[in-house]
Structure 1
């Protein structure tokens, strides 16, 4: 399989890195720091591949190790070296695909490469990283009895929220302005922390979105709050001009529609039902509030006004 110059350099560097696995991490990183540039110069001179010019990566690693004062660090060629070279080839392909993507997306953003535009967003990322770090700390210190909100407010203390947010922002900006960590473990720890904050931000975003969907509004209908004066009426008692109770009275409105008030039922003082003898009002003549003389029966039938009385005029 034909490899480009960048792929060949990446494969060779990875082979040298695997061969130097026995060295301290700081020494190994120092030896490999300028190796890609040196290998690019070797290829530019021509005369064959890196393997042909410099020999196997393990042999070249032995020379680097010896120059640093270490011996017997080179690993023999074998199955481990072949696996390392295969992994390096795949890594080189991924790097090449990322470079192509970087170069194609860049013009859309107005830059030769998208990475150049992302560099301008670093200060914004520093601020966002500080906010996410403060929120993560507040989440771990929160009692979870009440919602945390959008501020790092552990225990609901606003002053603690301001202090924690300020420390997070200042610490993140200070970390961003520093040079890239030299040690491999420091870089891995920084990448691990960044990945954790990204996952924390995604989960928090979906939590806030779910809470916003749950807090929908109810349609509030306005009703007349004035009390109904007929709501407590259970029976109707009608008296004539002489103060006598009229029994079997029918009530109609101006449109000839019957008026129904109360419930057509009657109970004695013990709560037992009493049969209703006459249609109309009152349902319980014996429970009239005023007893003046003998009750007189009205001549109005139960089905409507009497024939002799004028019929109600329909409403217009």
Structure 2
């Protein structure tokens, strides 16, 4: 049975609808509502099939998709996500701004008055004009402080770095680091007003921290200088590591029970007044009598007995055996 024109039109519309299947149904139906009448007119105007005249249903659907405006309208935006902090911000921000404004109104007028009065004492219209002249000096000092902090963080030599930012004790590295830090500080200082708000505040906060570090370093150096005399004796004492003293006479014999005195007759205290035996047990020794441990003597001559220092002793008559006959 030969298909009729109506069957061809119905099949073509069905195929075009299938090619537009990804569109919403309402949009697709609105695009295809006049397609049947249009295809009927095309069939009546001449001979040949719809495919010969209009192309395949897929090609026609693509052309229809590109030439027909989006009649369904734009989809509704997704519902707004709930932001719990937005409402809190809207409530807090106005009140915070009002409070800050009140604080500024209370503080700024007295500060302006003090600025003018102090400026007259210093010979300037305002004190802030004088402090503005000190900005380059602060930029240099800020670079120096940054260099010192970097050197303290990077140096692992264990030695004091001194007044220059030395890393590994190198003066050349110290000078290069100092020059780089000072130039960078000057560069930022000349451009601070061009920075955005929050980076500018960050630079101000960092400068305040550096100022506190500088004050802490100043007080530490001052305290160290004032208390330096307490440590000079310990550093200059060459006998701080002496634990015992061994005295030898002219014949090379070890003198036991020896005592040491200075030029004013004051006892000399050296070493630690204790000794330890073979088991490692510590035994207290008589203080200021050397050596504490005679058995630890570094030099012992074969066949020579240690000599004892002269000590007050009883007289020979006292050591003699008492006579049975009373003396007259």
The TM-score normalised by the length of structure 1 is 0.44
Q: Greater Rg, structure 1 or structure 2?
A: 2
Normalised TM-score (structure 2): 0.42
Larger relative contact order, structure 1 or 2 (CA cutoff 8 Å, min sep 6): 1
* Higher fraction of helix: 2
